Structures are given as C-alpha cells and as structure tokens.
Amino acid sequence: MNNTFPTLKKPGNSGGQPLPPAVNGVVMPAWDAAQPDSGQFLQAVLYGAVAALLGCILYAAFTIATGWQFGIVAALVGYMVGWAVLQATGGVGGQNCQILAVVLTYFSVSMASVPAILWYWSSHGVPLTPASVAILVKYGLASPFLRLQHNFGRGLISLIILFYGARTAWRMTAAKRVGM
C-alpha cells in the first residue's frame, strides 16, 4: 500500500511544480507552510502577553474614564496581540501562533473588567484578600458571558465584537505559505 499523495502538476507548466494534494476536487493546504521555531514561539508568548496586558490596561482605563464598556476596543486588542506575535516570529505565524493570539486576546478583553472593579473597590475602601482576587479572576474570565445575563442585547454585541477581535488576531497570525 502506497501512503504518499499523488503529485499534481499545474496545467501547461512543463517545469513540474507540484500542487498540494486534492481530495474530492478540494485542494488541501500546503505542507510547506512556514512555522516558527521554539525560540520564536517563546518570544511570541512574551510579546503577545505584553500586548495583551497593555490592551487590558487600555480597555480598563477607557472603562474607568468613561463608565462605558465599549466593545470595539476588543478589535484593537486583537490587532495589538496579533501584531506583537507576528513581530516576535518575524512575520511567520502558524497555527500555534493563531491559538496563542486568540487566547491572549480573550484573556485581555475578559480580564479588562477586573482593574475597573479593583479601582472601584479601592476608592470605596474594600480590602483586597487572596479569596477576593480568586473571585475576581474567575469573574474576569467569565465576564463576557455574564454580561448576557445582565443585558442580553449589549452582552451579545460584546460577544460578537470579542469574536471579531479574536478573529482579527487569528487571521493576522495565519501561517504564511512558502514555495507556492
């Protein structure tokens, strides 16, 4: 049994440049997409985490200053995180980078409510304990979905915009094809 894919040739191309394999007429992704090495990926984690932290601070500062949770900031955070990850990998990207960028974007946007709560607590003399920090972290991670319970319409819009921010990060960090 032969486990190799048949090589397809471009029509009219005598140079014999192969195409990716096709299944039921659908061209499968190329196997030669560039991937970042482990050093670049670790650097992407660091750069992406810094961008996510800055995005979280930006989102929280906006919320504290205006009293609004303006969801379009999530798209900006997704762009910031995606850009930082790409800078760390030299523009290579890849599936690992995509997952990293989406997770960091989600953490950044969802945890943006925590600094606003901390600011409120500190201005009202509420003490900060390890138990309250644990509750805040749980609340922060669940906050995009908890907004649905408070105001379904605004919560749904916030989730859609969060999805758009994550999608922005996902698309920015897609693998760049080489040799095609």
State the pLDDT at residue 23. 55
**Across residues 108-130, what is the average pLDDT?**
87
The predicted structure's pLDDT at residue 7: 46
Decide which of 86 and 5 is more confident.
86
48 pLDDT higher than 90: yes
How many Cβ atoms from other residues are within 10 Å of residue 139's Cβ? 15
Domain locations in the chain as residue ranges: 32-172
Q: Spell out the residues 6+ positions from residue 122 whose beta carbon is closer than 8 angstroms to its own.
A: 128
Residue 6 has pLDDT above 60, yes or no: no
- What share of the chain has pLDDT > 90, as a percent? 35
State the average pLDDT over residues 106-127.
87
Q: Is the pLDDT of residue 3 over 50?
A: no
Q: Is 26 helix (H, G, I), strand (E, B) or coil?
A: strand
Which pLDDT belongs to residue 89? 93
Say how many residues make up the chain: 180
Q: Please state the rounded mean pLDDT for residues 15-32.
A: 52
Q: What is the pLDDT of residue 34?
A: 67
- SS3 category, 9: strand
Give the span between the Cα atoms of 117 and 108, in whole angstroms. Answer: 15
Other Cβ atoms less than 10 A from the Cβ of 136: the count is 19
C-alpha to C-alpha distance for 160 and 175, rounded to whole angstroms: 25
Average pLDDT rounded to a whole number, residues 58-81: 84
Average pLDDT value for the chain: 81
Query: DSSP class of residue 89?
Result: T
Q: What is the pLDDT of residue 33?
A: 58
Are residues 159 and 70 in contact, defined by beta-carbon separation less than 8 angstroms? no
The stretch 94-121 carries a mean pLDDT of: 90
More confident residue, 35 or 3: 35
HSE (side-chain half, CA atoms, 13 Å) at 32 = 8
